[in-house]
């Protein structure tokens, strides 16, 4: 396993996360919520245990935004209150786990590959498939 470091755009918030070898890849999420929150076409994610994640700087800068997902359960998005970068989300249905934004980590740019794509139903028509795609969230 490897510890990766991440930081927000303004630099006030930093974190460390312990990643197991089988988690060292990106799950691309094309859902409408990711498109709105990121302003892009998809987000880069991985599911890791909550206790693998630690804020190392700026804990007092972390704010929470809550919305309700397809399941009707709460999804809490944690973000830097200064620059809005969001290092992770926590879904009520995934107890003890978080959805980590893998694109914000130092290092994986060269080493992490796409392992799956979810919410392919919301994919922009011009986007090429780069990994096995699921229509929504695989169960
Ligand atoms: Zn920030
Ligand atoms: Zn999404």
The two tokens of residue 96 are: 């003890």
Ion ligand 2 nearby residues (CB, 5 A): 29, 31, 34
Residue given tokens 């997902």 in the structure block? 69
Indicate the SS3 state at residue 80: strand
Q: How far is the CA of 5 from the centre of ligand 2 (A)?
A: 22
**Residues counted in the chain:** 139
Ligand with the closest atom to the CA of 82: 1
- Which residues, 6 or more positions from 95, have their beta carbon under 8 angstroms from its beta carbon? none
pLDDT, residue 6, reads 97
Average pLDDT for runs of 10 along the chain of length 139:
96 98 97 96 97 98 94 95 98 95 90 96 96 89
Q: Which ligand is nearest to the CA of 81?
A: 1
Instruction: Determine the distance separating the centroid of ligand 1 and the alpha carbon of 32, expressed in angstroms.
Output: 24
What gap in Å lies between CA 79 and CA 63, rounded to an integer?
Answer: 5
* Closest listed ligand to the CA of 79: 1
Q: How many CB atoms lie within 10 A of CB 52?
A: 17
Q: Is the dihedral of CA 129, 130, 134, 136 positive or negative?
A: negative
pLDDT at position 76:
97
**CATH of 2-59+94-122 given 2.170.150.70, 1.10.3720.10, 2.10.109.10, 3.30.300.30:** 2.170.150.70
Token readout for 72 is: 């009707």
User: What is the pTM for the complete model shown?
Assistant: 0.94
In 74-127, beta strands by DSSP E: 74-80, 88-91, 97-101, 114-118
| Closest ligand, as measured to the CA of 31 | 2
Q: How many CB atoms lie within 10 A of CB 35?
A: 18
Domain ranges of the chain: 2-59+94-122
């Amino acid at each position: 396993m490897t510890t990766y470091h991440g930081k927000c755009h303004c630099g006030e918030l930093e974190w460390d996360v312990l990643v197991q070898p089988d988690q060292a890849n990106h799950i691309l999420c094309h859902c409408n919520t990711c498109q709105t929150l990121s302003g892009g076409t998809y987000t880069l994610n991985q599911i890791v245990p909550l206790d693998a994640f630690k804020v190392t700087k700026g804990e007092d800068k972390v704010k929470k935004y809550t919305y309700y997902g397809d399941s009707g359960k709460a999804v809490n998005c944690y973000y830097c209150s200064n620059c809005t970068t969001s290092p992770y989300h926590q879904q009520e249905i995934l107890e003890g786990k978080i959805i980590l934004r893998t694109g914000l980590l130092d290092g994986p740019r060269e080493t992490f590959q796409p392992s799956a794509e979810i919410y392919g139903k919301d994919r922009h028509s011009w986007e090429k498939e780069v990994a096995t795609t699921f229509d929504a969230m695989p169960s």
